[in-house]
C-alpha cells in the first residue's frame, strides 16, 4: 500500500473519531435542554448517526462486499423484529392493576 493511501485512510479515521466526539458532546449538551417528548428521539437520532459511522468506517462495512452487507442488514432486521416482538408480547400479557 502506498504512503498516500495510508495517510488518507488515517486522516479519515481521525475525522470519524472527531465526529464521534462531537456527537457525544452534542448528546451531553442536549440532555440538559428540556424538549419534553423529543428528548429521547433526539438522543436516539444522535446515537444512530454515531453507530452508523462506527459500522461504516471502523467495522469496514463501507468497503465490504454487497452480499456481506445484505447479510448484516438482514440479521439486524431479524433481531430487531425478534426483540420488539418479545417486548410487545411481554407488555401485552402483563396484568395491570
Interval 48-69: pLDDT, tens: 999 989 988 888 877 778 888 8
Q: What is the pLDDT of residue 62?
A: 79
Domain extent listing, the chain: 1-63, 64-97
Q: What is the pLDDT of residue 47?
A: 93
Q: What is the pLDDT of residue 97?
A: 67
Q: What is the pLDDT of residue 21?
A: 97
Cβ-count burial 73-89 (b if 16+ within 10 Å, e if not):
eeeeeeeeeeeeeeeee
Tell me which residues of the chain have a pLDDT lower than 50: 1-3
Q: What is the pLDDT of residue 2?
A: 47
User: What is the rounded distance in angstroms from the CA atom of residue 6 to the CA atom of residue 2?
Assistant: 7
Q: What is the pLDDT of residue 95?
A: 84
Amino acid at each position: 500500500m502506498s504512503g498516500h493511501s495510508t495517510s488518507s485512510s488515517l486522516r479519515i479515521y481521525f475525522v470519524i473519531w472527531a465526529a464521534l466526539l462531537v456527537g457525544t458532546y452534542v448528546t451531553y449538551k442536549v440532555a440538559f435542554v428540556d424538549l419534553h417528548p423529543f428528548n429521547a428521539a433526539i438522543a436516539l437520532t444522535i446515537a444512530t448517526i454515531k453507530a452508523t459511522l462506527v459500522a461504516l468506517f471502523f467495522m469496514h462495512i463501507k468497503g465490504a462486499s454487497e452480499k456481506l452487507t445484505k447479510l448484516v442488514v438482514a440479521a439486524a432486521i431479524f433481531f430487531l423484529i425478534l426483540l420488539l416482538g418479545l417486548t410487545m408480547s411481554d407488555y401485552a400479557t402483563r396484568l395491570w392493576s
